[in-house]
Amino acid sequence: MPDPETRSDPTIRVRIAPSPTGPLHIGTARTALFNYLYAHHVGGTFVFRLEDTDVARSTTEFERDILEGLHWLGIEWDEGPEVAGEGDIGAYAPYRQMQRLPGYAAAAERLLEADLAYPCFCTPEQLEADRRAQEAAKLPPRYVGRCADLTAAERAAKLAEGLRPATRFRVRPGVVGWNDLIRDRIEIDTANLGGDFVIVRADGTPLYHFTVVVDDAAMEISHVIRGEDHVSNTPKHILLFEALGHPVPEFGHLPLILNPDGTKMSKRKSQTAVDDYRAQGFIREGLLNYLAYLGWHPGTEDDILAIEEIVARFDIDKVQKGGARFDRDRLEWLNGQWIRRLEPDDLVDRLRPFLERAAEAGQIDRLPSDDEVRALLPIVQERLPTLAAIVDLVGFLWVEDLDVDPGVLIPKRWDAATTRDGLAAAREVLVAHDGVTWEADELEPPLRALVEARGWKAGDLFMAIRVATTGRTATPPLFDTMVALGRDRTLARLDAAIGLLAAA
RNA sequence: GCCCCCAUCGUCUAGAGGCCUAGGACGCCACCCUUUCAAGGUGGAGAUCAGGGGUUCGAAUCCCCUUGGGGGCACCA
């Protein structure tokens, strides 16, 4: 089997074309990923294009969020834009639609001249009234064709009145079909397309269905791999490719990512922004692995695959047809798997921003050094489902005044007096250790001996010490934790707990 | 309302007519390990393959119908 990375097929070009009208959406990232996987598997080119013609809703900020999010995930493109202001990369530049306006204007002009499109003077009010009437009559909404057959004189008269027309594309009768890469043959009668559709607004700015086709044609896109929500739009696009005299690309429609209730994933019901996942401590390896398995499967029983392995095994024929619900539990599990696989120095680097943020938020009083964090790794790495979990897990190491709940301090089988007695006895044993012998395997034997001598259960004493020194009932191994805490603070916290029990 | 798509454990999925007494993973439960929590190990519950008709010697797999779910029908993308 040839190595996919060394194969190269210049005729295969795919693209991701998000619009900067919101932060990078998990669904966009998934579509980008599948395009990336397809391109890399077959040695094609992956193009990134920004569809920013909705000027009212597009912002530079969203643009930056999308670009940075994709970079963070490692879904790199071969051709496309860089962050606002920087130059585009690739032979088909520019890759922002607002910089490609002349191309759409020229294409629209060609369609107009060939009478494949026509000027439409209908007002928003008229169209709205049409829609309402159709709805009342329980008819599907469609353009009534009021301006389809205007004579040259009628058009001239409207223009003379100062009316600015939109441009409508003539939908020809017949059936349009294509062999979908994922769902085989699909055929749709153009009578169900809703009539002639607008390709250029009255203000002269082009609309999505038009720009996407003009650009896919201009950029020689060979395979359009996108979400299932575009299936119904595909006939419009095919019609446009034909009208423009350009060969029709292949289409593949990916299953949608669904909310837990099975509806199309939305901000309302799910967390959709990639940056939010990142902020919660999901790492790219986990997210990528999870996203790739949403609607695709290698066919083997491997659950944990790095991106290179996924590229090597990717096969668009094996992409699922039905939508996939987003399962956060599974994402967290996979994320934990990947955190466990990280090299120590790498993990320390990735943990740092989360610790800094906790310090800024006042969750911890002191920012630990990298060495300090690195020393902790053996006891925390396998306990982190996310990077952010580090604060909950061992944040007690970096706070000045520990908040201890007296109720939690007393083990289930013990009472307050026994607990006070136990902690005091433990303190006495621990005082015998200096800074040199303050090691996990030095601290454990004498405490076990104490338990033995007093007829206690190890678990009870250890739990009391655990809560006294960390404020929590669930922590990394106790003796390692006390070493991380240090002799002085361990003893001080034991004192404080004893005091707390005496007061109560 | 119209058009289109989809349908295997709660969830993600394996399955390309006999390998299926339907496999794996997440989650759940139990046990082991164990000072707690994780991790790891072992085992378990969990799917009459949406239902009904065909085709076939044989159907989760092919065909049809029904049902259910989803998506789309803008001078949004």
The model's pLDDT over A407-439, given as tens digits with 9 standing for 90+, comes to 999 998 999 999 999 999 999 999 999 989 999
For residue A451, pLDDT over 50 is answered with yes
- Gap from A347 CA to B14 C1', in Å? 34
Instruction: Report pLDDT digits (tens) over A45-59.
Output: 999 999 998 888 999
Q: What is the mean pLDDT of residues A332-344?
A: 97
Distance (Å, rounded) from C-alpha A22 to C-alpha A50?
Answer: 12
Among residues A169, A178, A176, A173, the alpha carbon closest in space to that of A191 is found at A173
Question: Residue A322: which nucleotide is closest by CA–C1'?
Answer: B6
pLDDT at position A441? 93
Query: What is the ipTM score, two decimals?
Result: 0.95
Distance (Å, rounded) from C-alpha A451 to C-alpha A327?
Answer: 45
Element (H, E) at A324: strand A324-325
Q: What is the mean pLDDT of residues A124-131?
A: 94
What count of other Cβ atoms lies within 10 Å of the Cβ of residue A4? 17
Catalytic residue among A138, A158, A236, A267: A267
- Gap from A262 CA to B10 C1', in Å? 13
| Residue of least CA–C1' distance to B27 | A329
For residue A29, pLDDT over 50 is answered with yes
Would you state the structure tokens that stand for residue A113, as one six-digit string? 């001249």
- Gap from A334 CA to B69 C1', in Å? 28
Question: Residue A142: which nucleotide is closest by CA–C1'?
Answer: B73
Instruction: Report pLDDT digits (tens) over A65-111.
Output: 999 999 999 999 999 998 766 788 899 999 999 999 999 999 999 99
pLDDT at position A227? 96
Q: What is the DSSP string of A208-245?
A: HHHHHHHHHHHTT--EEEEEGGGGGGHHHHHHHHHHTT
Q: What is the mean pLDDT of residues A316-329?
A: 95
pLDDT at position A214? 98
Helices and strands: H and E segment counts in chain A: 20, 11
Question: Residue A187: which nucleotide is closest by CA–C1'?
Answer: B4
Which chain B positions have some atom within 7 A of a protein CB? Answer: 1-8, 10-16, 23-27, 35-40, 69-77
- Gap from A192 CA to B72 C1', in Å? 11
For residue A1, pLDDT over 90 is answered with no
Distance (Å, rounded) from C-alpha A502 to C-alpha A416?
Answer: 8
Distance (Å, rounded) from C-alpha A288 to C-alpha A462?
Answer: 41
Residue A6's pLDDT band (cuts 50, 70, 90): low
- Gap from A305 CA to B65 C1', in Å? 42
How high does pLDDT run on average in chain A? 95
Q: Is A267 designated active site?
A: yes
Q: What is the dihedral of CA A23, A28, A30, A34, to 10 degrees?
A: -140
pLDDT at position A4? 47
